[in-house]
Every structure is written in structure tokens, then in C-alpha cells.
Structure 1
Amino acid sequence: MLFTILKWLDANVEKAIIIISYFIMSMIVFVEVIKRFCFGTQSPWSTEIPIYLFLMLAWIGCAYNAKVRTHLTFSDLRSRLPRFWQFFCLLLDYICWVSLAVIVIYYTVEQVAISRNNYAMITGTDIYVWYFYMSTPLGWALTIYRVTQNLFKDISNYRNGRPLIETPDFAAAGE
């Protein structure tokens, strides 16, 4: 049972968060536009929460794109390189991703701590801002996890003679 849940989360956690964030964001904007134009009123939090949801969506989306390798990879150029250099480029990608992630996590954890210590809240709610700010270091930690998964796949592919660089099929990436 637990293994099934973990397997589902591994396959779908980013997609679920992205879809839920988009849905909530869209509903808030839709309802508030109706309220503003039909009733002349607006909730004070309605301009802030969609922005924070988008922050969450962006960094979780970054992890998802790293997972399915739909980020900028120069696949056409790399596929023409000799096998060793393809693998070297993939290792260089890994080092760059993890280095950037460590820098982002280091500085955003500090921002989260400042926000938490100041008890910053979203206007008109009892929701702390740092809950949403946590999505940045968590999204980048998830990115490290996904890039590390890809690294293990790449090492296995390199050792077993399987293709290293595949041109991504953007239509199939969402499946």
C-alpha cells in the first residue's frame, strides 16, 4: 500500500500540484473579476494569493521539466557528439543544476526564515506568507531529486550502451 502511494507520488506529484495550483488560481481570478464588475467589491487577498500560487507553480514546474527533460538541452547538437562527450555534457548539466539549486535553496531558506520570524501574513487572511515562500526551496530540492534520478538513468544508459541523448517529444511529455 505504502509502496503504491510512493510510486504514484513519484510519477505524479508535480503534475498534481501544478493542476491544483492552476485551478485554484483560475477560480480566484474568475470569481474576483465577477465580484468586481458585477457587485463592485473585491476580497483583499484576491490579488496576492494567485501570485503566491504562481510562485509555487513555477518552481514545482521547474522540477517537472527537469524530470521529463523538456528544459533547454541543445539535444540536436549533443546527439551529434561522440558518446563520451554526450555523457560528459549530461554530467555537466547535473553539476550546473545542483550548483544552482544549492545557491537558490541557501538564499531562499533565509528569506523564508525572515518572513516567518516577522509573522508576515497575506492581507485579509490568517495565512502566513512563508508557507508559499517555502515552495521555492522545496521546488529546488525536488529539482535536485529529479536531476539525480536522471543522473542514475544516464549512468545506467552509458554503461549498458543505450542512447544517452533523446530529442524530447513535447506532445508525449505530458503523458
Structure 2
Amino acid sequence: MEILRFILKWLDENAEKVVIIISYAAMAGIIFVEVIRRFFFNVQAPWSTTVPILLFLWLTWFGCSYNIKKRTHLALTEIRARLPYKLQFAALAFDAVLWIVFAIIVIFYTWQQVYNSYDNFAIVGGTNDVKEWWFYLATPLAWTLIIVRVIQNFLEDLKLYKSGKPFVLQGLLNE
């Protein structure tokens, strides 16, 4: 049980970071190697222009989740900070509801895209056997994680509200 708790805590702290670093390193590595191959050896892997773009899906959507976790996403912080305490909480609760509703819509439609890609055996351009749905899966997975992060933030806000402590309206990436 202690191992499971350790794994879940580690995933909670590092899931987005790991996905971001791996996808960014893979994108940069592919692009770097293929630019060298193209200019010095006049050859290029046919998939080298499509895979980095598809890896960008993983980078951006998990980056979005990370920013929500850290509260560094775009927000109307200046306006919210000037509101009375109860209205600040109401605004944070409304934000959470909007995020979750939007995430459900995104998950619903992107899951259809993943399924269609899977069902039609869609292959990444320039490859023989790399499935597109592997990359498209990034969007519904990351948006599911976004829901988790929004709920975590809201529970933290609720605890602060009940104790009367000031809200964390905007975080820093280095925290």
C-alpha cells in the first residue's frame, strides 16, 4: 500500500513534467537529426516532418494541464483580486465548473477522433506501422488530467475558503 501511495504521489507531482520533457526531447532530437541529414547527406526520413507535429499535441495539452496545476494559466487575476472574499470564491468555483464542462466537451469530441483514427487504421504519414491514434490520444488523456487538476485546485480553494485564508489566485512555475 505504501508503494502505491508513493507512486501516486510521484505521478501527481511529475506526470506532466515527464510527458513534456519526453515529447519535447523527442521533437528536438528528430528535428535536429533530420536537419543534419537533410543538409549534409541529402536524405531525410519521410516521417520526420509529421511525427514532431504530432508529438506537439502531447507537449501542448500536458503543458496546459501543468499550467492549470500551477495556476499559471491565463486568468483575470487583477479583477478577481479586487473582489470581496466571497465573490473571489464564487469566481473560482465558476472557473472550475467552466473548465470541467469545456473539458468534457473536448474529451467527447477528441475521443471520437481517436476512435475514428483507430477504427480506420490510420497510419502516420511516412511510416508503415505507426498509428495516428497513439498521438491523438494525447488530447483526451491530458484533458482528463486537466479535470483532475481543476478539482484538486478547487478542493484547495474550498479548504482556504472554509478557513478564511487568502486564495492562491496566481502561482509561479518555479514553486
Percent of matched pairs sharing the same residue: 49
Deviation at 1:166, TM superposition (A): 3.4
Matched, 1:166 2:172: no
SS in 2 for 1:120: coil
Query: Structure 1 regions of 5+ residues with no counterpart?
Result: none
Deviation at 1:168, TM superposition (A): 2.8
Deviation at 1:12, TM superposition (A): 0.6
Which position in structure 2 is the counterpart of 1:140?
143
**Partner amino acid, structure 1, of 2:14:** N
Matched, 1:117 2:136: no
Deviation at 1:125, TM superposition (A): 3.8
CA 1:10–1:167: 2 relative to 1, 3 Å: closer
Which position in structure 1 is the counterpart of 2:19?
17
Residues of 2 paired with 1:166 and 1:93: CA distance? Answer: 12
**Partner amino acid, structure 1, of 2:74:** L
8 Å CA contact retained: 2:69, 2:149: yes
RMSD: 1.1
Q: TM-score, normalised on structure 1?
A: 0.95
**Partner amino acid, structure 1, of 2:127:** G
Deviation at 1:76, TM superposition (A): 1.9
Which position in structure 2 is the counterpart of 1:37?
39
8 Å CA contact retained: 1:75, 1:165: no
8 Å CA contact retained: 1:112, 1:130: yes
**Farther-moved stretch of structure 1 (122-131 vs 31-40):** 122-131
Deviation at 1:5, TM superposition (A): 1.5
8 Å CA contact retained: 2:71, 2:170: no
Q: Tell me which stretches of 4 or more aligned residues in structure 1 moved more than 4 Å.
A: none
Which position in structure 2 is the counterpart of 1:71?
73
Residues of 2 paired with 1:63 and 1:39: CA distance? Answer: 40
SS in 2 for 1:164: coil
CA offsets, 1:118-174, max 9 Å, x none?
1011122421000110100001000000000001001000001111143433xxx13
8 Å CA contact retained: 2:67, 2:73: yes
8 Å CA contact retained: 1:76, 1:167: no
**Partner amino acid, structure 2, of 1:135:** A
8 Å CA contact retained: 2:96, 2:150: yes
8 Å CA contact retained: 2:72, 2:170: no
Q: What are the residue-to-residue correspondences of 1:66-105 with 2, within 5 Å?
A: 66-105=68-107
SS in 1 for 2:75: coil
Q: TM-score, normalised on structure 2?
A: 0.95
8 Å CA contact retained: 1:67, 1:147: yes
Deviation at 1:72, TM superposition (A): 1.4
SS in 1 for 2:161: helix
8 Å CA contact retained: 2:30, 2:48: yes
